[in-house]
Amino acid sequence: MLEHDVLVVGAGLAGMRAALAAHQSGANVAIISKVHPVRSHSNAAQGGINAALTDRGDNWEDHAFDTIKGSDYLGDQDAIEYMCTEAGPELIDLEHMGVIFNRDDEGRLGTRAFGGQQRARTFFVADFTGQAILHVLYEQLMKADVRVYEEWFVLELIVEEGECCGVIAMEIATGSVFVIRAKSVILCTGGLGRLFEPSTNALIVTGDGIALAYQVGAPVMDMEMVQYHPTTLKGSGVLITEGARGEGAHLLNKDGERFMQRYAPNMMELASRDVVSRSEQTEIDEGRGIDGCVLLDCRHLGEDLIAERLSQILEIGMDFAGVDIRKEPIPIQPGMHYIMGGIKTDMDGRTIVPGLYAAGECANVSVHGGNRLGANSLLDTVVFGHRSGRHAADWANGKAYRDLNVDDYVDGKEKEFSDLFSRQTDERWSQIRLDLGKAMDRYMGVYRDEEGMQSLLAMLPGFRERFAQASLQDKGRVFNTDLIFTLELGFMLDCAESIVLGGIERKESRGAHSRTDYPNRDDENWLKHVLVTRTDDGPEVSQLPVTITKWQPEERKY
Ligand SMILES: Cc1cc2nc3c(=O)[nH]c(=O)nc-3n(C[C@H](O)[C@H](O)[C@H](O)COP(=O)(O)OP(=O)(O)OC[C@H]3O[C@@H](n4cnc5c(N)ncnc54)[C@H](O)[C@@H]3O)c2cc1C
C-alpha cells in the first residue's frame, strides 16, 4: 500500500515549499506531479517576487496597502498582512537556500518596479525568476529525500466519512491506477489558464485541483476574477513580462501616443494589470489599435539593459513574433494569465473538508481579491505553501491511516476507463477544448455583460454532452496523452461552471470583473466574496463578507 502522512499534489513552487515544510515538521511526505517537477508552470515565471525589505526603507504595510488597493478591496486583509510580513523572511530563506537573485550596484539584493506598487520591491533573477527558485527548491527536496511520484496523474480525491484520506492516481508511464493513502492531502495544482484560448499558461495548466476539490463539495471562491495580463503576444498569447514595463518600456497606440496618460496619469504603464488591460482594450475597441493590438516599445531601454535583464523577452520576440525588440515596437494585447479565484481556504490552507488543504494558484486564501499584483503570486505560493505544509503535518501527526477498500476504488476507475476507451465517435477533446476556450475568452474576457455570460452558461451543457461523447484515438495505456488531455477537459468544464456562475452573480465591476452593464464598483452590496459549491442539487452560489482590518475601501486611482 502506498501511503504517506502528507501527500502534496503538485510540484510547482507551492507544492515544493509545502512539502519541504511538512518534511521539516517531521511528517513522512510525498509529492505527486503530472509532469517532471521542474516543468511545472512556476518555471515560466519571469518577472520576480515581491517583498518589502526594511534595509531600503520599505515596509510591509506599504506592500499590504498596494496589494489591497490592487485587489480592489476584495482581498482579505488579515491574510494580506500575513503574506506581506512573511515576505521578507521567506525571500531571505530562498536566498540562503541558494537562489541567486540579481544584485544592485551596491551589491545588495536588487529590485525592479512592478505594476500597482508605489516602490520597486520586486526581486528577480533576470527574466527567469520562477525557474531559478523552482530548481533550488527541487534540490532541497532531493536533499531531504522526499518521495516524488513523477509523471503521475491524480484522478480523484478519496473522501470517507467527510474526511480526505488519499487520492486515486494513474502512473502515466504504465497507465496503471493506484490508491495513495494519506492522512492529509495538500492541493498545489496551480491555475486553469488553458480553459481560455489563448492564454499565457502552459498546456498543463487545466484547473485539475480546483475541480477535484469542487467535486468533493469544497467551495470555490471569486472564480469570476480572471486576470488578463496587459502584454501578451498576438495569437499565441505568449507572455511578455511586466518586468519590461518595470524597466521602462512604453505602451503606444497606432498614433504613437502613450495612451496610459489618459487612464492612469500618475502610474502610467505601471498601473495595476486590470486597469492597463482595460485601457488597452478600450483603445483597441475605439479604433486606435493595430489589428487587435497595441504596441510595447522597448527601444529606448538600450541594448545593454535588454541583453542583461530582458534576454528571454528578446528571444520570445524574435521566435514568436519575428520582432527584434531592440529595433521595433512589438504588438501585444491583453490575454488570459491568472485566476485570482480558487478553492476557499483559511490562512492555514484548510478547506472545509477535514484533511484537505490547498495552496498556491489553485487556492484562494484570499490575498489577490479582484486583481493580483504582478510578482505577488510567487510570494503567495511560498508563504502559504510553507504554512499549509506545516499545518497539514500537524493534522497528520498522531492520526492513524484510515482503512480503505483499495480494490473498489481501482475497479471503479478501471470501469470508467473501459467505458471511455470503448467509445467510437468523431468527437475529440481537442476541438471541444478549443471551442470552450474561445467561448470563455469571448464572454469572460476583459469586458463582460449579463447577456454574454448567460449565453455562455447556456452553452455549458452542450460542451458537457460533447465531452460525454468524446472518444480516444490512442487506445493503449502506456503514456496515453490522448487520455490525459481528455481527463483534463473534464476538470476544465467544472471550472468553467464556477467562473460563469460567479460572474453572473456579481452585479458590479470590481478588479478584473468589468461589466459593461454594471460599470461601477458597488461596496454597499458587493464588498463580498462569491462562493460556488457543488451540491447534490447542482451548484449553489453564496456570499461571504470580506475581512477588513484597517484599510477602508477608497476610490481607486493610479
Ligand atoms: C508565463 C507566466 C509568467 C509568470 N510570471 C510570474 C512572475 O514573474 N511573478 C509572479 O509572482 N507570478 C508569475 N506568474 C504566476 C505564477 O507563476 C503562478 O501563479 C505560480 O507559479 C503557480 O504556482 P503553483 O505552485 O500554484 O502551481 P504550478 O507551478 O502551476 O504547479 C502545478 C503543479 O501541479 C501539478 N498537477 C496539476 N494537476 C495535476 C494532476 N491532476 N495530477 C498530478 N499533478 C498535477 C503539476 O504537475 C505541477 O507540478 C506567471 C505565470 C505565467 C503563466
Q: Is 153 in the pocket of ligand 1 (CB under 6 A)?
A: yes
Whole-structure pTM value: 0.97
Which protein residue's CA is at the shortest distance from atom 27 of ligand 1? 190
Residue 235: the pLDDT is: 83
75 Cβ partners below 8 Å, 6+ apart?
67, 68, 366, 367, 368, 369, 370, 546
Grid look-up 503530472 returns 34
Residue 328: the pLDDT is: 96
Which protein residue's CA is at the shortest distance from atom 1 of ligand 1? 44
Q: Which helix (H) or strand (E) holds 312?
A: helix 311-316
Q: Is 246 in the pocket of ligand 1 (CB under 6 A)?
A: no
Instruction: Give 137 Cα–ligand 1 centroid separation in angstroms.
Output: 14
Instruction: Give 381 Cα–ligand 1 centroid separation in angstroms.
Output: 9
Instruction: Give 37 Cα–ligand 1 centroid separation in angstroms.
Output: 11
Which protein residue's CA is at the shortest distance from atom 10 of ligand 1? 375
**Is the pLDDT reported for residue 243 higher than 90?**
no
Q: What is the pLDDT of residues 158-179, one digit of tens each?
A: 999 999 999 999 999 999 999 9
Ligand 1 site-directed mutation target among 34, 35, 41, 188, most atoms within 8 Å of CB? 41
**Is the pLDDT reported for residue 201 higher than 90?**
yes
Grid look-up 502584454 returns 231
pLDDT mean over 369-383: 97
All three cell numbers of 396 = 497528520
Which protein residue's CA is at the shortest distance from atom 3 of ligand 1? 45
pLDDT mean over 279-304: 96
Query: How distant is the alpha carbon of residue 294 from its chain centre?
Result: 25
**Is the pLDDT reported for residue 193 higher than 90?**
yes
Q: Is 373 in the pocket of ligand 1 (CB under 6 A)?
A: no
Q: Is 511 in the pocket of ligand 1 (CB under 6 A)?
A: no
pLDDT mean over 263-270: 96
Ligand 1 site-directed mutation target among 31, 40, 112, 204, most atoms within 8 Å of CB? 40
All three cell numbers of 106 = 551596491
Q: Which helix (H) or strand (E) holds 7?
A: strand 2-9
Give the ranges where 470-534 is alpha helix by DSSP (H): 481-505, 523-526
Q: Is 154 in the pocket of ligand 1 (CB under 6 A)?
A: yes
Q: What is the pLDDT of residues 61-70, one digit of tens each?
A: 999 999 999 9
Q: Is 63 in the pocket of ligand 1 (CB under 6 A)?
A: no
pLDDT mean over 259-267: 96
Residue 116: the pLDDT is: 93
pLDDT mean over 326-335: 96
Question: Ligand 1: which atom is nearest the Cα of residue 39?
Answer: 49
Spot the catalytic one: 245, 368, 513, 521: 245
3-class DSSP state of 18: helix
Residue 127: the pLDDT is: 84
The reply to whether omega before 366 is within 30° of 0 (cis) is yes
DSSP character at residue 103? B
Query: How distant is the alpha carbon of residue 67 from its chain centre?
Result: 16
Q: Is 378 in the pocket of ligand 1 (CB under 6 A)?
A: yes
What percent of the chain has a predicted confidence (pLDDT) above 70? 100
Which protein residue's CA is at the shortest distance from atom 53 of ligand 1? 201
Query: How distant is the alpha carbon of residue 536 from its chain centre?
Result: 28
**Is the pLDDT reported for residue 308 higher than 90?**
no
**Is the pLDDT reported for residue 46 higher than 90?**
no
Position 546 confidence tier, pLDDT thresholds 50, 70, 90: very high
**Is the pLDDT reported for residue 297 higher than 90?**
yes
Instruction: Give 291 Cα–ligand 1 centroid separation in angstroms.
Output: 31
Position 283 confidence tier, pLDDT thresholds 50, 70, 90: very high
Instruction: Give 361 Cα–ligand 1 centroid separation in angstroms.
Output: 7
Spot the catalytic one: 17, 181, 194, 229: 229
Q: Comparing C-alpha atoms, which of 347, 254, 245 is closest to residue 301?
A: 245
Instruction: Give 40 Cα–ligand 1 centroid separation in angstroms.
Output: 6
In order of 74, 75, 401, 403, 531, the CA distances from 85 in angstroms are: 19, 16, 36, 41, 27
3-class DSSP state of 29: strand
- Is 350 noted as a catalytic residue in this protein? no
Instruction: Give 155 Cα–ligand 1 centroid separation in angstroms.
Output: 19
- CB half-sphere exposure, 479, CA atoms < 13 A: 4
**Is the pLDDT reported for residue 312 higher than 90?**
no
Question: Ligand 1: which atom is nearest the Cα of residue 360?
Answer: 26
Q: Is 296 in the pocket of ligand 1 (CB under 6 A)?
A: no
Mean pLDDT for the chain overall: 97
Instruction: Give 263 Cα–ligand 1 centroid separation in angstroms.
Output: 31
In order of 56, 59, 148, 288, 470, the CA distances from 33 in angstroms are: 39, 36, 8, 45, 25
Question: Ligand 1: which atom is nearest the Cα of residue 488?
Answer: 41
Report all structural domains of the chain as residue ranges with CATH numbers, in order of start. 1-45+128-225+340-558 (3.50.50.60), 230-332 (3.90.700.10)
Say if CB 247 and CB 391 are below 8 A apart: no
- Is 466 noted as a catalytic residue in this protein? no
Evaluated on CA atoms 102, 103, 104, 109, the torsion sign reads: positive
Instruction: Give 129 Cα–ligand 1 centroid separation in angstroms.
Output: 13
Ligand 1 site-directed mutation target among 210, 368, 378, most atoms within 8 Å of CB? 378
Q: What is the pLDDT of residues 477-529, one digit of tens each?
A: 999 999 999 999 999 999 999 999 999 999 999 999 999 999 999 999 999 99
Question: Ligand 1: which atom is nearest the Cα of residue 153?
Answer: 42
Q: Is 34 in the pocket of ligand 1 (CB under 6 A)?
A: yes
